[in-house]
Amino acid sequence: MAAKRNYIIGVDTGGTFTDVVVLADTGEVWTAKASTTPDDFSRGVMDAVGEAAQIMGVESSDLLGRTTLFKHGSTVATNALITRSGVNVGLITTRGFEDTTEIMRAIGRVDGLSDDEIKHVTWITKPEPFVPRERVIGVRERIDYQGNEIVPLNWDDVMEAIRRLIEDDKVDAIAVSLMHAWVNPQHENEIRALTAEADPHRKVYWSFGSSLSQVAGEYARANTAILNSYLGPTVERYLKGLEDKLASGGLKGPLLIMQGNGGVAHREHVSAIANLQSGPAGGMIASAYIAGLLEHKNVITTDMGGTSFDVGLITEGYWRYAQEPIVERFRMLQPIIDIESIGAGGGTIAQVEMETGRLLVGPRSAGASPGPVCYDAGGDQVTVTDADLALGIIDPNYFLGGRKSLNKDKALKLIEEKIARPLKLKVHEAAAGVHDIVNAKMSDLIRRQVVRTGYLPEEFVIYAFGGAGAVHASGFAAELGIKQIYIFATSPVFSAFGAAAADVIRTRVMSCQYILPADPVVINQRLDGIEKEMSADMNREGFKPGRVEFRRFFTIRYRRQSAGVEMPVSWDRFNPKRMTEMHSAFEKKYEELYGVGSGYAKAGIEISEIRVDAVGKVAKPKLTAKRKSNRDARSARKGKREIFFTRPERKFIDTPVYDYERLGFGAIVRGPAVIELPFTTALVPPEHRVNIDPYLNLVMEVP
């Protein structure tokens, strides 16, 4: 009986749907979806858990009662940023640098803008700051870039700044970011101690830049502290409320929160900004797990959900962290997986620009409410999902495995009225235009991501996930010249699957300057110090020193360069020979990325940044290879329908429809075809072929 098993639950709250994956200790996997509830995200989480319990045939209280780990990727922090619904924040910084966050950096004017937006130079303005200038207060202090105290911290300045921000400005949170606290946090620690006297009842939420980042760059580090304070009370309130709901629903295991660094941590140990990009990070974790299983070294991860399209890369078996991730047009310093997003999901809105007569797709989305026109919930803007439905790709009676019916007639009527008639096209041609444009936007994003890392798209396989990923993957893969696409049974809930599979991870990134060949004794001492501190952090997460794995990465560059190459370090101890090998490995990698002869050894080579991940392993899903099935794919046919294909010819084709659940290992489906999974639809164009592999993944071969 299912109720006798123990479970791990992974939940990902997306812009449109909240996804849940339940892993049993026996290796079984269940998936479910519920609508996201923006007014109270925790309600959508509980609804999704209830859906999963119903599918499993158990009571929700029984499911939660037997759950050993509940892991959650949340959009509450991202949503608070987008809607500007955080709290009032004040900033304490070094006197003389009060204008740093408003001056920004030169590139700050265009950070976070799309290529189209950047083209309109006269329209570009700086983003509205999260802390207005009147709530930025400087205090007398100075530590230099080497960590030496030049001017002691003036305690009277600090006490007056706190009094003014709390009593006069009525702030809800205070951020502290001093000039060189990244190298020596002494003065920020002194301010932290003074808060016990100045704010004994903890009226406000506090964030300290040196606790959040040990990386040089006063502008991005100040943003990091500000954003953490801006989001902190909102995130804490949400997570505490969710924890209470889960506990009252029967959960006895811990609530672990997905972080942008690709790991989870206990709720009370997670900073607010660590929640940013936690959903896309879940997809990367799931991809890394599958890539290890299938021995894929280079993978493009593509997540097409209801609101956005997220792209990440695994190269040589590793993902990368963004050097300075940009959130809502502000640079920050946090270990967040390098994933780039655009507004290109199932709910992305298509419209005709009246001034030019152009068909535009995105970046705005219909979201979870009201959603696409075909949801029949009040939406009055044509979306990508409406176009896919009009083309015949989606069965209106089998959306979400038949749990939701779509109003195709309403979608056709709105497409005709808003797109086809203004462009003087037939309805199916207008829908095909929407389909092709969104595919082109996605392929452009992938191409940029791949080429800027020194690789070519054809050197990768594509993992297609998200609710709409399997519909569009063949389109953007063909434009890129990529020959293999992997679609998984868990693709529609892949980020939740990744959350369920995620380890507990703490990440420490810090600036440094070690000129190669550096003294190995100094490097070893620095790593030992970092890992000793991180062992204490992991002990608070419940992991003894012997159960923690350390992953080390060095960012290396030619001297006077502003950016470097991050390289994994396989050794835990260094000696002179290994330092020389590191030098040679960097020069080889640099030329692989930028071309033979691009290096300049005479400039000297330095380690500019150290990253260490402390990993506490937790239980993983047990995916086992299946025996080859003797069943022919024809036995899985469930009917046929007319679908309008745009490749290789633009025409309607009477297309077979296959039931994924009846396709076993070894089955081959030749295009044109549609394969219907419980929560998504895989489109197989003419001349394409799908093989079912031993793990029951759909492997699409692109001609």
pLDDT in tens, 602-624: 899 999 999 999 999 887 777 78
In 3D, which of 635, 648, 622, 637 has the Cα closest to residue 673? 637
Q: How far apart are CA 278 and CA 257, in angstroms?
A: 9
Q: Class for domain 282-343+438-501, per CATH?
A: alpha beta
Please give the full DSSP string across 522-546, using - where no structure is assigned.
Answer: HHHHHHHHHHHHHHHHHHHTT--GG
Per-residue confidence band for 3, with pLDDT thresholds at 50, 70 and 90: very low
Among 81-85, 126-130, 543-547, name the most confident range.
126-130
Q: In which region does residue 295 sit, left (phi positive, over 0), alpha (psi from -120 to 50) or beta (all else)?
A: left
pLDDT at 46: 95
Q: How far apart are CA 257 and CA 246, in angstroms?
A: 14
The domain made up of 84-230 has a fold known as: Rossmann fold (3.40.50)
- pLDDT value at 369 more than 80: no
Q: Scanning the structure block, which residue is given the tokens 């991940």?
A: 613
Q: Which amino acid is at 80?
A: A
Q: How far apart are CA 8 and CA 117, in angstroms?
A: 43
At the fourth CATH level, the homologous superfamily of domain 2-80+237-275 is ATPase, nucleotide binding domain (3.30.420.40)
Per-residue confidence band for 698, with pLDDT thresholds at 50, 70 and 90: very high
For the sheet with 637-645, list strands across it: 637-645, 651-659, 673-676, 681-684
State how beta strands 668-670 and 637-645 pair: unpaired
pLDDT at 560: 87
- pLDDT value at 380 more than 60: yes
Averaged pLDDT, 269-274: 89
Contact status, residue 93 vs residue 143, Cβ threshold 8 Å = no
Q: How far apart are CA 368 and CA 383, in angstroms?
A: 12
- pLDDT value at 239 more than 70: yes
pLDDT at 157: 96
Q: How far apart are CA 306 and CA 304, in angstroms?
A: 7
From the centroid of its chain, how far is CA 471? 21
Q: How many CA atoms lie within 13 A of 78 on its CB side?
A: 20
pLDDT at 174: 97
Q: How many other C-beta atoms lie within 10 A of the C-beta of residue 283?
A: 30
Averaged pLDDT, 644-673: 93
- pLDDT value at 367 more than 80: no
Contact status, residue 702 vs residue 688, Cβ threshold 8 Å = yes
Averaged pLDDT, 194-218: 91
Per-residue confidence band for 114, with pLDDT thresholds at 50, 70 and 90: confident
- pLDDT value at 595 more than 90: no
Q: How far apart are CA 190 and CA 208, in angstroms?
A: 11
Q: How far apart are CA 492 and CA 306, in angstroms?
A: 11
Query: 418: Cβ–Cβ under 8 A, 6 or more apart, which residues?
Result: 351, 352, 381, 382
Q: How far apart are CA 536 and CA 544, in angstroms?
A: 9
- Of 273 and 631, the one with more pLDDT: 273
- Give me Rg for the CA atoms of the chain: 26
- Residue 648, preceding bond cis, omega within 30 degrees? yes
Q: Which amino acid is at 132?
A: P
Please state the pTM of the whole predicted model: 0.87
Q: How far apart are CA 268 and CA 270, in angstroms?
A: 6
- Of 24 and 138, the one with more pLDDT: 138
pLDDT at 2: 42
Q: Which amino acid is at 602?
A: K
Share of the chain above pLDDT 70, in %: 99
Q: Do domains 2-80+237-275 and 84-230 have the same CATH topology?
A: no
Q: How far apart are CA 478 and CA 434, in angstroms?
A: 17
Averaged pLDDT, 682-693: 95
Q: Is the dihedral of CA 295, 459, 492, 45 positive or negative?
A: positive
pLDDT at 110: 87
In 226-357, the DSSP E strands lie at 255-258, 264-266, 299-304, 309-315, 318-319, 326-327, 330-331, 339-342, 348-353
pLDDT at 17: 83
Helical (H) or strand (E) element with 437: helix 427-451
- pLDDT value at 400 more than 80: no
Lowest mean pLDDT among 46-50, 114-118, 285-289, 568-572: 114-118
pLDDT at 24: 87
In 3D, which of 476, 452, 473, 455 has the Cα closest to residue 464? 473
- pLDDT value at 71 more than 80: yes
In 3D, which of 502, 456, 41, 481 has the Cα closest to residue 257? 502
pLDDT at 133: 93
Domain locations in the chain? 2-80+237-275, 84-230, 282-343+438-501, 348-433, 506-616, 633-690
pLDDT at 528: 92
Share of the chain above pLDDT 90, in %: 59
Q: Scanning the structure block, which residue is given the tokens 């207008």?
A: 430
- pLDDT value at 1 more than 70: no
Q: Is 96 exposed, middle or buried (0-12, 13-18, 19+ CB in 10 A)?
A: exposed
pLDDT at 444: 93
- pLDDT value at 474 more than 90: yes
| Average pLDDT taken over every residue of the chain | 90
pLDDT at 354: 86
